[in-house]
Structure 1
Amino acid sequence: MSTSQQHLARKPKADPPTVAAAASVTHRGGIRFRALRRNALVFACQISVLAVLLFAWELATRQSALNAFLFGSPSAVWGFLVQMWKDGSLLTDTRVTAMETLLGFVIGNVLGTLIGLALWYSRFVSQVVQPFIVALGSIPIIALAPICIIWFGTGLASKVAMATLSVVVVALITAYKGALSVDIDQINLMRTLGASKRHIFRKLIVPASLGDIFAGLKLTVGFALIGAIIGEFMSSSEGLGHAIFKAGSLYIIPKVFAALVVTIALALCLTYVVGKIEKILTPWRPH
């Protein structure tokens, strides 16, 4: 055997695990690229649909197919947004409503989630309190506004209370549903291995319920915002709800739409933050 042949024979071959790892990285990169491309396509379609709707709305008002006094127009809405930005009311109202919404969202979800998960400990207690939960959830939130104002006054506390009441029942039900949906075979397996009920709750019930809990969080963002704005309708001198109510009472429809646009943007931002937190806390779930 020649020297070159001996050298080739002694040369180590490529490590199969290394090749497999490189292939896996390439595969994940391809999946990530396709996901980004799909998300970009979805976003582009959403922007296109919005642009077409705004163009049709503007065209209809300019051609008098729609009454501009009753329906406003995108250009008039933009004009009021610029005006509200310049006079400072846009930032002030958004900050007030965001604070009320965020406080009510956090308090309501913490209370509702803790109670919902705690009900898993006792099926008897959950059956006892079930009609009371249903009764509380069936009350229209606007009917509670006068009571909240009497109890908490006309300041920040009453709006936070309204937002909390709008959220707490939904958070409770979603958390309890998530706890009950845990696979009974997994629970029995942990019991067979000697796990106590407390360990089952911490290690299995809570992690397995996070999917339903975060679904409830995304849902209750809008509920908290609705509760805060209803509270501002009833008694407030600041906030997006106050701006909507005041503009509506004066029949300034474009300003109403301008405040609604900011409200929608606020809800989208809060939902986006909740989604990011979900990805961090539940990395094992597909998103």
Structure 2
Amino acid sequence: MRLSKDSDGYKNYLKNVKKEKTKILLYQILIFAGFLILWEVLANLNIINTFLFSKPSDIYSLFISYVQNGQLLTHVGISVYETLLGLIIGTVLGILVAIALWWSEKLSKILDPFLVILNALPKTALAPIIIVWAGAGIEGIVVTAVTISVVVTILSAYNYFINVDEEKIKMLRSFGATKSQILFKLIIPSNIGNLINLTKINIGMAWVGVIVGEFLVSRAGIGYLIVYGSQVFKLDLVMMGVFVLAFCAWIMYAILNLIEKFYNSRR
């Protein structure tokens, strides 16, 4: 039996769901805060070596200084720009190729072994070659990010497309629907949620590609801060870069979550 949206039972259900989400968020905050406090205490008691592990208070002080002099915003802006380019190009290109494979069964059979091999290759290990080919600048870094995400996008999106309910496809064909109509009226609409989830996965992959590229050739960006900090044995800078990287990835993930909730609310 379905509950009416105006019923007391439905309202209580929503209230309980909200309470549960609040509890989970509180637990997450407590775990993170507890980790930072423990880290700070162990560092101050010299139980862990601050030269190797730094400590939260030093990282925070460095963070404030980088924010005040404007350097952090510059580095974050460059990395976010490169990541967004890699994410958009890799995701869109991967979905377009997946559509082509769905459209032509013969093409999918021809390309299948090549895609499997490309997916198995360690793309990060090939990053130096990719950057030499594409150029030692933003282009090379973006191409590295695209390379890491595009094959997984193709394979995943194609798998989503071919697993749409066959009975629905047969029904549309029985009404005389063309292949393009089946694609735009059934295949893509029924996989919007899957494609959003795939984009969430690609956020992490795009960041990996960007950071690896910045390790190799960049003179700016979060990856540059991390590798520079490790080269001069300034672990405060390394850890600050890691925290900023995690925060940026989380923000992008949260934005996609909002988009997904908006889409689900409109269905």
The interval holding the TM-score normalised by the smaller chain is over 0.9
CA distance in 2, matches of 1:245, 1:179: 41
> How far apart, in 1, do the equivalents of 2:135 and 2:107 lie?
34
In structure 1, C-alpha distance between the alignment counterparts of 2:216 and 2:150, rounded to whole Å: 21
Shift in Å at residue 40 of structure 1?
1.3
- Once the two structures are TM-superposed, the CA of residue 277 in structure 1 deviates from its matched residue by 1.9
Larger radius of gyration, structure 1 or 2?
A: 1
Amino acid at match of 2:46: S
Change (3 A) 1:183 1:154: same
Q: What is the aligned partner in structure 1 of residue 185 from structure 2?
A: 203
Per the alignment, residue 71 of structure 1 pairs with 53
Residue in 1 that maps onto 2:221: 239
Q: What is the match of residue 34 of structure 2?
A: 52
Matched, 1:224 2:206: yes
Cα 1:197–1:71 shift into 2, 3 Å = same
Q: Aligned to 1:80, what secondary structure does the other structure show?
A: helix
Q: CA deviation at 1:283?
A: 3.7
Q: Could you list the per-position Cα deviations for residues 174-217 of structure 1 after superposition, in whole angstroms to 9, with x for gaps in the alignment? A: 21111122111111122222222221111111112222211211
Q: How does the TM-score come out when normalised to structure 1?
A: 0.87
Give the CA deviation at 1:284: 6.4
| Equivalence for 1:257 | 239
Question: Relative to structure 2, which stretch is displaced further, 86-95 or 237-246?
Answer: 86-95
Q: How many Å apart are 1:147 and its aligned residue? A: 2.5
Unaligned runs of 5+ in 2: none
- TM-score (norm: length of structure 2): 0.93
Deviation at 1:29, TM superposition (A): 3.7
Q: Tell me which moved more, 137-146 or 250-259.
A: 137-146
The answer (yes or no) to whether the contact 1:104–1:164 under 8 Å persists in 2 is yes
CA pair 72-139 structure 1, distance change in 2 beyond 3 A: same
**Which has the larger displacement, 57-66 or 257-266?**
57-66
Gaps of at least 5 residues in structure 1 are: 1-19
- Report how far residue 170 of structure 1 moved: 1.6
Quote the Cα distance in structure 2 between the aligned partners of 1:163 and 1:88: 26
Identify if the C-alpha distance between structure 1 residues 191 and 284 changes in structure 2 by more than 3 Å, giving closer, same or farther.
farther
Aligned length: 266
1:107 to 56, 64, 89: 89
Tell me the distance in 2 between the aligned counterparts of 1:35 and 1:163: 38
Is 1:266 aligned to 2:258, yes or no? Answer: no
Shift of 1:25: 5.6
Q: Which one of 164, 176, 186 corresponds to residue 168 of structure 2?
A: 186
Instruction: Give the C-alpha shift of residue 253 in structure 1.
Output: 1.1
1:164 deviation in Å?
1.0
**Which of 105, 109, 115 is equivalent to 1:133?**
115
Counterpart-to-counterpart distance in 2, 1:188 and 1:119: 19
What are the superposed Cα offsets for residues 21-52 of structure 1, whole Å, 9 maximum, x if unpaired? 97636555434333322221111110000111
Q: 1:190 to 1:27 in 2, by over 3 A?
A: farther
Whichever residue aligns with residue 202 of structure 1, its letter is: F
Structure 1 residues 118, 279: CA separation in 2 closer, same or farther (over 3 Å shift)? farther
User: Which amino acid is 2:25 matched to?
Assistant: F
The Cα shift of 1:275 comes to 1.6
Q: Distance in 1 between matches of 2:266 and 2:166?
A: 20
Does 1:276 find its partner at 2:258? yes
Deviation at residue 105 of structure 1 after TM alignment: 0.2
Is contact 2:124–2:148 with CA below 8 Å preserved after alignment?
Answer: no
Moved more, 168-177 or 92-101: 168-177
Question: Structure 1's 114 and 27: CA in aligned 2 closer, same or farther, altered over 3 A?
Answer: farther
2:48 is paired with a residue of what secondary structure?
Answer: coil
Equivalent in the alignment of 1:145: 127
Q: Structure 1 CA distance, aligned partners of 2:248 and 2:239?
A: 14
Q: 1:215 aligns with which of 161, 179, 197?
A: 197
- Mapping of residues 13-52 of structure 1, within 5 Å: 24=6, 26-52=8-34
Identical residues among aligned pairs (%): 32
Change (3 A) 1:41 1:143: same
